[in-house]
């Protein structure tokens, strides 16, 4: 079952920035790109667990603030020579409102 | 026995002559040069990129001071020769220096032609000839006012483009119906005019200047047809004539220029002339290639080879305006015995025309696409019969014989004697030979050994392709390390273009400088943000999304995602109230770790991001502001107790450290800046391994800089000794501002200083008071916008979104 949970409005997130959503499974980082695409991924770099939400957002990717791994927001995979991936979380718009699929996260976490 | 060689003039031609001469007969001549310009030899063809801001003067120097010293040359800078005494064999300068010679070389160049209209001598009327002219134009451009360039030839258009990119409203007046009519046919002249106009430069052709008027300075230009053009700057670029007056006064034969034979010798056997002032076989020259040829001949003659002779050659003309491709060569007037081949591609903005006589190329005009210029030049030079390839000739070399359109193949197909570098007359075989024989792997090496691409640089692409062909992967094209994968430009070029083109936002930089990514990366965005903050302190809106997290939230991220907080403790001085406030904050927020830092202050580690504003609020109550322990900016000024307490202290080092810190806090710099002030040479504040350090002595303040005690360990260099605290502050601030303006992002002071040169920094900060004060003033101006405590801003609500989660969801469900 997909459980879509409202997390706020797209305008809550700065362009080329991110905000966190606290969930029972840990923090989800929700990103907004320069061209208003929104992505949600686990806020946990596959390298050493750095908070990806604190990184610099460029294109559809984020650079982790701890050791500069670059993570694709679309796939959750590390780009370049690094290997690893974080879980992605489905995002949906209802007008300005943003929803993420929480169950999907829970089931994959299980 | 050494002979005395005296040279009048220090331009490109005599410079090149000396290089040849020292190579052929080292030590034979004792050389003295008199230069009317107060500087060393520089690449005059590159003045246009300096005017447009694409290059700095330092980059166009051919021979620095060291070269003159190494070759034992006496260089009189700013000395104009006023008399040649041919009987006594001496020359005398306007400063009264008289120098005897055995051989004399006159290389006085040319003087710009001034149209003798009324008002031609008003202040604000300039010519375009040397660095002084460029500097005067750059100064005038600061007003962003209107400029008129008289003359639509090569120099006039380059001046117009330069002034335009400096933000001036420019009008070009040209007396002929089309631009550059001596090098271009009317069709290409029209295309050029359109391209120039598209840049926002107005062009008036058939413009007959009647007068320049204004009260005490230029205000307007009047044309014969009554048109009036307002202007605060008028640049005359209508032509040059050989500067032969001095030779004439000395009784040397002068026609248009100083008359010399094919060996560059005048009618006085001990006097030679070369460069733009010389007339050989009835011709005078203005482009660099024949001038360099004269230099080669004169050097051989001076070395004793009397067979060396100058031979006339046609030289291609190229316009050095970024984005306009133009090449012209030879004779392209129409005539009964001539045929022409023309290619027009209006959509691509390409026009090519070949003029043929007896199946041989005699003239070439290429506009919009000039890659085949070298090939056409080669066909013309060799007078190759082109009847076999006539149908496809105009499509260029790569089209011949059905070969692929690969530009690499085109270069590969060039014969060994094809000329690659027109300025220096270097052919393909010489370049590939030097690459192989000397194992050259970088463009700079090839320039050093062959001179190819070392003058105007327009053949750089060809030379690079040749390097790839010759040595393949061993060629290292990144002579300039690009900033990041988003651009091919290096930090210095980007910084210069930001200023030159007046770029004031990150998107504007990326658009104008053709970034290859949509919004940069984590390497270039923070760098660009810093450059823009530094260059436009009052206008640029800091882009927080382009700052590293630490600078965005004004705390240091730790490995577990918590933050550390370091309040400023001015000069390392604190008191009971401050310590008590820190203790209370530690208790209240259960801060797990408190530590004294190396910069004499207190670090609180392990604070959760959400708590940062509350921590800052409590610290702010006690008077603390952010210590910028996270910043590429001024960190700490470490001090010892100085003359107030210490029995050895010579000055109030603590007080001075506090003063520096209060003056300079909040400033952003390319990388972090750590300072220290020690009260005596025992140096308890460890000032001699800091970015900037002060050692107080009885006689004043010894300023040090460029130390390192991190990845590298390096003692400081001494900048100099000053008497008072005020002077010390001014010097330190100016030094920091110089670094702020020139440093590459993340480049510490010691690395910057190594790149720029300690001597150059000393010269600008210690010796040049005007420059020092200008740096100081720019720093002070920028501080007006920088000295805002970021913590109190955030306590009062700025960037709230940074510190709060967007939402908390799903907790009730999980409890089920």
Nearest beta carbon to residue A24 from set B552, B559, B810 = B810
- Concatenate the DSSP letters of all residues of B380-436 into one string: HHHT---GGGTTTGGG-GGGGGG----HHHHHHHS-TT-EEETTTTEEHHHHHHHHH
Average pLDDT over residues B508-536: 91
Residues B130 and B206 in one domain: yes
Interface predicted TM-score (ipTM) of this complex, two decimals:
0.89
- pLDDT for B814 beyond 60: no
Q: B191 in a domain, yes or no?
A: yes
Q: Cβ-count burial of B412 within 10 angstroms (0-12 exposed, 13-18 middle, 19+ buried)?
A: middle
- pLDDT for B234 beyond 60: yes
Q: B31 in a domain, yes or no?
A: yes
Scanning A56-95 for CB atoms below 8 A from B yields 56-59, 63, 65-66, 68, 70
- pLDDT for A25 beyond 50: yes
Q: B700 in a domain, yes or no?
A: yes
Nearest beta carbon to residue B545 from set A6, A16, A68 = A16
Q: How confident is the model at residue B398 (pLDDT cuts 50, 70, 90)?
A: low
Residues B746-779 have pLDDT tens digits of: 999 999 998 888 988 999 999 999 999 999 999 9
- pLDDT for B808 beyond 90: no
The reported pLDDT for the residue numbered B402 is: 47
Residues B157-169 have pLDDT tens digits of: 999 998 998 889 9
How close, in Å, is residue B609 to chain A by CA atoms? Answer: 11
Nearest beta carbon to residue B809 from set A15, A21, A50 = A21
Average pLDDT over residues B243-249: 93
Residues B162 and B209 in one domain: yes
The reported pLDDT for the residue numbered A108 is: 47
DSSP structural state of residue B25: S
Cβ distance of A23 and B520 shorter than 8 Å: no
Average pLDDT over residues B461-488: 80
B242 to B106, B153, B276, B699: CA distances (angstroms): 12, 18, 6, 56
Q: How confident is the model at residue B400 (pLDDT cuts 50, 70, 90)?
A: low
Cβ distance of B545 and A56 shorter than 8 Å: yes
The reported pLDDT for the residue numbered B446 is: 86
The reported pLDDT for the residue numbered A2 is: 65
Cβ distance of B809 and A17 shorter than 8 Å: no
Count how many domains chain B has. 4
Q: Do B705 and B636 contact (CB within 8 A), yes or no?
A: no
Residues B34 and B80 in one domain: yes
Q: How confident is the model at residue A54 (pLDDT cuts 50, 70, 90)?
A: very high
Higher pLDDT, A40 or B448: A40
CA dihedral B742, B747, B751, B752 (to 10 degrees): 0
Q: Determine which of A23-37, B102-116, B359-373 has the lowest per-residue pLDDT on average.
A: B359-373
Cβ distance of A65 and B548 shorter than 8 Å: yes
- pLDDT for B403 beyond 80: no
Average pLDDT over residues B530-536: 96
B218 to B123, B238, B439: CA distances (angstroms): 6, 18, 56
Residues B234 and B247 in one domain: no
Higher pLDDT, B518 or B588: B588
Q: B320 in a domain, yes or no?
A: no
Q: Which of A7, A9, A14, A23 to mutate to test the interface with B (most CBs of B within 10 A)?
A: A23
Residues B17 and B103 in one domain: yes
Q: What is the CATH number of the domain that holds B99?
A: 3.50.50.60
The reported pLDDT for the residue numbered B181 is: 85
The reported pLDDT for the residue numbered B571 is: 96
Cβ distance of A27 and B559 shorter than 8 Å: no
The reported pLDDT for the residue numbered B326 is: 85
B398 to B354, B361, B416, B668: CA distances (angstroms): 17, 18, 17, 52
| Mean pLDDT, chain A, whole residue set | 88
Q: B71 in a domain, yes or no?
A: yes
HSE, CB side, 13 Å, CA atoms: give it for residue B272.
28
Higher pLDDT, B626 or B335: B626
Domain end marker among B184, B218, B238: B238
Q: Determine which of B295-304, B390-399, B416-425, B428-437 has the lowest per-residue pLDDT on average.
A: B390-399
Domain that holds residue B511: 491-547
Q: What is the CATH number of the domain that holds B770?
A: 3.30.413.10
Higher pLDDT, B811 or B48: B48
The reported pLDDT for the residue numbered B491 is: 92
Query: Whose CA is closest to B656, among B620, B691, B703?
Result: B703
Residues B757 and B648 in one domain: yes
| Mean pLDDT, chain B, whole residue set | 89
Residue of A nearest to B815 (CA): A24
Residue of B nearest to A7 (CA): B807
Q: B797 in a domain, yes or no?
A: no
In whole angstroms, what is the distance from residue B450 CA to residue B446 CA? 6
How close, in Å, is residue B506 to chain A by CA atoms? Answer: 12
Residues B747 and B647 in one domain: yes
CATH of A4-109, one of 3.40.50.300, 2.30.130.10, 2.102.10.10, 3.40.640.10: 2.102.10.10
Residues B51 and B84 in one domain: yes
Average pLDDT over residues A62-90: 92
Residues B533 and B682 in one domain: no
B92 to B18, B58, B712: CA distances (angstroms): 22, 30, 53
What are the residue ranges spanned by the domains of chain A? 4-109
Residues B88 and B135 in one domain: no
Residues B56 and B101 in one domain: yes
Percent of chain B with pLDDT over 90: 57
Q: B536 in a domain, yes or no?
A: yes
Query: Whose CA is closest to B688, among B630, B631, B747, B750?
Result: B750
The reported pLDDT for the residue numbered A110 is: 39
Q: How confident is the model at residue B213 (pLDDT cuts 50, 70, 90)?
A: very high
Q: B807 in a domain, yes or no?
A: no
Q: How confident is the model at residue B199 (pLDDT cuts 50, 70, 90)?
A: confident
Residues B96 and B49 in one domain: yes
Q: List the structure tokens of B296.
A: 């080669």
């Amino acid at each position: 079952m997909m459980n879509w949970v409202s997390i706020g409005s797209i305008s809550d997130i700065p362009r080329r920035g991110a905000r966190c959503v606290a969930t029972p499974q840990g923090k989800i980082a929700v990103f907004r790109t320069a061209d208003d695409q929104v992505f949600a991924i686990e806020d946990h770099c596959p390298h050493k667990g750095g908070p990806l939400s604190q990184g610099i957002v460029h294109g559809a990717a984020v650079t982790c603030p701890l050791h500069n791994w670059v993570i694709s927001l679309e796939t959750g995979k590390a780009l370049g020579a690094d290997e690893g991936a974080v879980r992605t979380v489905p995002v949906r718009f209802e007008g300005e409102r943003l929803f993420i699929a929480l169950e999907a996260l829970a089931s994959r976490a299980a | 026995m050494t002979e005395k060689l005296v040279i009048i003039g220090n331009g490109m031609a005599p410079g090149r002559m000396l290089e040849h001469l020292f190579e052929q007969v080292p030590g034979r001549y004792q050389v003295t040069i008199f230069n009317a310009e107060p500087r060393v030899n520089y690449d005059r063809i590159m003045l246009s990129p300096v005017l447009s801001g694409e290059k700095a003067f330092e980059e166009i120097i051919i021979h620095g001071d060291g070269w003159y010293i190494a070759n034992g040359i006496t260089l009189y800078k700013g000395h104009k020769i006023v008399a040649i005494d041919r009987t006594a064999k001496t020359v005398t300068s306007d400063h009264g220096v008289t120098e005897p010679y055995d051989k004399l070389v006159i290389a006085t160049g040319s003087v710009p032609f001034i149209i003798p209209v009324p008002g031609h001598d008003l202040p604000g009327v300039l010519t375009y000839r040397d660095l002084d002219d460029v500097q005067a134009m750059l100064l005038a451009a600061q007003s962003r006012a209107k400029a008129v360039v008289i003359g639509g030839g090569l120099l006039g258009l380059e001046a117009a483009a330069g002034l335009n990119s400096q933000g001036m409203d420019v009008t070009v007046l040209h007396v002929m119906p089309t631009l550059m009519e001596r090098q271009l046919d009317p069709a290409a002249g029209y295309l050029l005019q359109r391209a120039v106009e598209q840049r926002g430069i107005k062009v008036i052709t058939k413009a007959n200047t009647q007068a320049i008027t204004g009260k005490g300075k230029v205000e307007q230009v009047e044309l014969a047809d009554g048109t009036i053009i307002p202007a605060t700057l008028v640049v005359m670029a209508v032509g040059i004539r050989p500067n032969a007056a001095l030779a004439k006064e000395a009784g040397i034969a002068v026609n248009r220029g100083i008359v010399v034979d094919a060996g560059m010798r005048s009618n006085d056997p001990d006097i030679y002339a070369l460069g733009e002032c010389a007339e050989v076989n009835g011709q005078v020259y203005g482009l660099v290639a024949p001038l360099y040829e004269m230099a080669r001949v004169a050097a051989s003659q001076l070395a004793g080879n009397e067979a060396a002779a100058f031979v006339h050659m046609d030289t291609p003309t190229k316009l050095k305006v970024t984005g306009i491709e133009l090449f012209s060569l030879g004779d392209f007037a129409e005539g009964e015995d001539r045929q022409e081949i023309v290619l027009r591609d209006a959509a691509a903005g390409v026009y090519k025309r070949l003029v043929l006589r007896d199946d041989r190329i005699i003239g070439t005009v290429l506009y919009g696409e000039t890659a085949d210029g070298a090939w056409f030049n080669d066909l013309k030079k060799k007078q190759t019969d082109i009847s076999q390839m006539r149908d496809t000739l105009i499509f260029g070399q790569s089209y011949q014989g059905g070969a692929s359109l690969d530009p690499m193949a085109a270069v590969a197909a060039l014969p060994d004697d094809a000329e690659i570098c027109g300025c220096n007359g270097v052919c393909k075989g010489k370049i590939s030979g030097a690459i192989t024989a000397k194992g050259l792997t970088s463009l700079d090496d090839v320039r050093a050994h062959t001179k190819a691409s070392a003058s105007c640089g327009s053949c750089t692409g060809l030379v690079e392709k040749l390097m790839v062909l010759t040595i393949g992967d061993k060629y290292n094209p990144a002579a300039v390390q690009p900033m990041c994968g988003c651009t091919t430009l290096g930090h210095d070029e980007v910084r210069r273009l930001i200023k030159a083109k007046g770029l004031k936002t990150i998107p504007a930089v990326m658009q104008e400088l053709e970034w290859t990514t949509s919004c940069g990366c984590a390497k270039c965005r923070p760098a660009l943000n810093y450059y823009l903050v530094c260059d436009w302190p009052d206008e640029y809106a800091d882009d927080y999304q382009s700052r590293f997290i630490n600078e965005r939230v004004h705390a240091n991220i730790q490995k577990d995602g918590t933050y550390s907080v370091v309040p400023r403790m001015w000069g390392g001085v604190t008191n009971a109230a401050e310590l008590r406030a820190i203790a209370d904050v530690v208790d209240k927020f259960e801060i797990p770790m408190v530590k004294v830092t190396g910069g004499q202050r207190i670090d609180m580690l392990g604070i959760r991001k959400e708590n940062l504003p509350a921590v800052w609020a409590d610290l702010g109550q006690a008077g603390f502001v952010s210590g910028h322990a996270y910043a590429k900016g001024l960190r700490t000024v470490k001090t010892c107790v100085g003359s107030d307490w210490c029995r050895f202290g010579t000055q109030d080092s603590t007080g001075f450290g506090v003063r520096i810190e209060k003056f300079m806090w909040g400033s952003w710099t390319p990388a972090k800046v750590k300072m220290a002030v020690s009260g005596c040479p025992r140096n308890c504040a460890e000032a001699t391994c800091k970015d900037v350090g002060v050692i107080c002595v009885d006689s004043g303040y010894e300023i040090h800089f460029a130390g390192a005690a991190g990845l590298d360990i390096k003692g400081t260099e001494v900048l100099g000794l000053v008497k008072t605290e005020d002077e010390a502050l001014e010097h330190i601030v100016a030094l920091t501002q110089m670094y702020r303006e020139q440093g590459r992002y993340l480049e510490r002071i010691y690395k910057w200083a190594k790149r720029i040169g300690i001597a150059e920094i000393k010269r600008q900060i210690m010796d040049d008071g005007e420059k020092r004060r200008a740096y100081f003033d720019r720093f002070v101006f920028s501080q007006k916008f920088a000295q805002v405590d970021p913590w109190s801003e955030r306590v009062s609500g700025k960037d709230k979104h940074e510190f709060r989660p967007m939402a908390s969801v799903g907790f009730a469900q999980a409890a089920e």
